[in-house]
């Protein structure tokens, strides 16, 4: 079983320190929880407005665009079944220093997502329970997630299953209520193709803008690769789970937004774009369903998504630290729970500070820039490693697919707002300074790569 995988880890110069216990479905569930099956409920109004009501088309194109990058993760996780995600892949596929920058950029995604979600969830709960201050909710969320993650990946996996079941129950209730409402003609609803394709509102600018928003809803499938050293079953498990989770979440996104668009086709009747989906749920099933969907979204973002994000970033920090690219104490593993507990605690502290100090718009800008930049490095890694270093002639797998991934991600990256580029550039420059320090002026390589040379 794990003997083969342990050898794989040791083949790259590392020891098997983390607890290898995750199955294919554990990884799929992890990816689903990270992407949040009911995520469209929170941003539905914006996607529907930009897409001229063709929300299903927007999510379909978003999933189609991300599938190429998902396959790039598949190829690299199979070649390098070790923790670190895009940091490891760019390090081994291109160059160690490029790998550091790729890892540094993905930190923006993983390390700031929990803070972003804590703020969103805390603001929502402050309206429901005004007696508790926003900072109180933030600290409570962080404490809960930190304890679960330190207790080990098995407990995190169990929590993920419970959280996913809860989200799917809420989603199933909405789907049943919505189908019944459309069948009865509530709010004039009828089954039609307009949410998928409406020639009256279709043009390429609309499609491009809507797809750019929808693509960001799929961020998180990539985090599965951070669990490579805690997975059993073979080198392809991580890659297959990455692709499967993306396809499953895409189907769920399209189904719920299709039904919502049928019941509430006229966005002008809704005053607040943040609550459009919840109001549509209320039309379909009553005020109780409105509240249920809103509360479920808060819990999914504030607890579930941030739980798996904290697990992901702690593994990246662990991986970079054991390569001496970051302070060594970040690679300490708990003797009992076999989890990177010092990295987990550091992420918790950062989350508290960031949640209370950085405005939401800046957090969102940084998260998007970091993730998309890392995806560019990832797709480029596939091409350089397989085509140029390994002399692969499998041009579809190792050239065409990552080129399409580069094109899609590059398009969305190019159309990010100015704030994203400004803050992202600052973070990039800080990374160069950190890299210069830990590599002693770009002269030093990670110990395992020095040994290979």
Beta-bridge partners for 231:
22
Q: Is the pLDDT of residue 3 over 50?
A: no
- Mean pLDDT over residues 49-71, rounded? 90
Q: What is the pLDDT of residues 349-380, one digit of tens each?
A: 888 888 777 776 677 667 778 888 999 999 99
Q: What confidence score (pLDDT) does residue 361 get?
A: 64
**Per-residue confidence band for 163, with pLDDT thresholds at 50, 70 and 90:** confident
Return the percentage of the chain with pLDDT > 90, whole number: 40
Domain at 21-439, CATH homologous superfamily: Amino acid/polyamine transporter I (1.20.1740.10)
Most confident of 5-14, 392-401, 406-415: 392-401
- pLDDT value at residue 127: 64
Domain assignments of the chain as residue spans, ordered by start: 21-439
Percent of the chain at pLDDT exceeding 70? 94
pLDDT for 242-273, tens place per residue?
A: 999 999 999 999 999 999 999 998 888 888 88
How many whole angstroms separate alpha carbon 310 and alpha carbon 301?
A: 12
Lowest mean pLDDT among 207-221, 371-385, 395-409, 435-449: 207-221
Residue 449 has a pLDDT of: 63
The pLDDT assigned to 396 comes to 95
Burial of 84 (0-12, 13-18, 19+ CB in 10 A): buried
pLDDT in tens, 184-193: 999 999 999 9
Confidence of residue 453 (pLDDT cuts 50, 70, 90): very low
Query: Is the pLDDT score of 276 beyond 60?
Result: yes
Does 149 score more than 50 pLDDT? Answer: yes
pLDDT tier at 140, thresholds 50, 70, 90? confident
Average predicted confidence (pLDDT) for the chain = 86
Residue 1 pLDDT = 37
As a whole number of angstroms, the distance between CA 222 and CA 312 comes to 10
Distance CA 211, CA 65 (A): 9
The whole-model pTM stands at 0.87
């Amino acid at each position: 079983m794990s003997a083969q995988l342990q050898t794989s880890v040791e083949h790259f110069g590392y020891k098997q320190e983390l607890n290898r216990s995750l199955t294919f479905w554990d990884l799929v569930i992890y990816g689903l929880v990270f992407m949040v099956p009911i995520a469209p409920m929170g941003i539905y109004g914006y996607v529907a407005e930009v897409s001229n009501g063709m929300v299903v088309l927007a999510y379909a194109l978003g999933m189609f665009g991300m599938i190429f990058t998902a396959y790039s993760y598949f190829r690299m996780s199979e070649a390098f079944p070790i923790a670190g995600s895009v940091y490891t892949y760019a390090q081994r596929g291109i160059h160690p220093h490029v790998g550091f920058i790729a890892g540094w950029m993905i930190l923006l995604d993983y390390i700031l997502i929990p803070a972003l979600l804590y703020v969103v969830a805390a603001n929502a709960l402050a309206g429901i329970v005004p007696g508790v201050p926003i900072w109180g909710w933030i600290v409570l969320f962080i404490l809960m997630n930190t304890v679960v993650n330190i207790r080990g990946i098995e407990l995190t996996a169990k929590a993920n299953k419970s959280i996913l079941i809860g989200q799917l129950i809420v989603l199933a209730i909405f789907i049943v209520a919505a189908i019944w409402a459309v069948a009865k003609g509530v709010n004039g609803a009828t089954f039609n193709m307009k949410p998928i394709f409406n020639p009256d509102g279709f043009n390429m600018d609309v499609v491009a803008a809507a797809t750019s928003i929808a693509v960001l809803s799929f961020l998180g499938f990539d985090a599965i690769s951070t669990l490579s050293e805690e997975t059993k079953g073979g080198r392809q498990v991580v890659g297959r789970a990455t692709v499967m989770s993306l396809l499953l979440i895409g189907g769920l996104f399209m189904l719920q937004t299709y039904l919502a668009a049928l019941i509430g086709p006229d966005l002008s009747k809704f005053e607040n774009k943040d609550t459009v989906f919840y109001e549509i749920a209320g039309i379909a099933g009553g005020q109780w369903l409105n509240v249920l969907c809103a509360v479920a979204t808060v819990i999914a973002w504030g607890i579930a998504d941030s739980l798996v994000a904290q697990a992901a970033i702690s593994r990246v920090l662990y991986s970079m630290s054991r390569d001496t690219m970051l302070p060594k104490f970040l690679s300490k593993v708990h003797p009992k729970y076999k989890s990177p507990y010092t990295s987990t605690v550091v992420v918790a502290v950062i989350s508290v500070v960031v949640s209370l100090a950085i405005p939401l718009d800046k957090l969102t800008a940084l998260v998007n820039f970091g993730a998309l930049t890392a995806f560019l490095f990832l797709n480029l890694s596939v091409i350089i490693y397989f085509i140029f270093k390994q002399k692969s002639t499998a041009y579809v797998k190792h050239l065409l697919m990552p080129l399409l991934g580069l094109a899609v991600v590059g398009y969305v990256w190019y159309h990010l707002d100015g704030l994203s580029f400004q803050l992202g550039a600052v973070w990039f420059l800080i990374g160069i300074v950190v890299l210069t320090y830990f590599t002693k002026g770009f002269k030093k390589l990670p110990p395992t790569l020095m040994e290979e040379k």
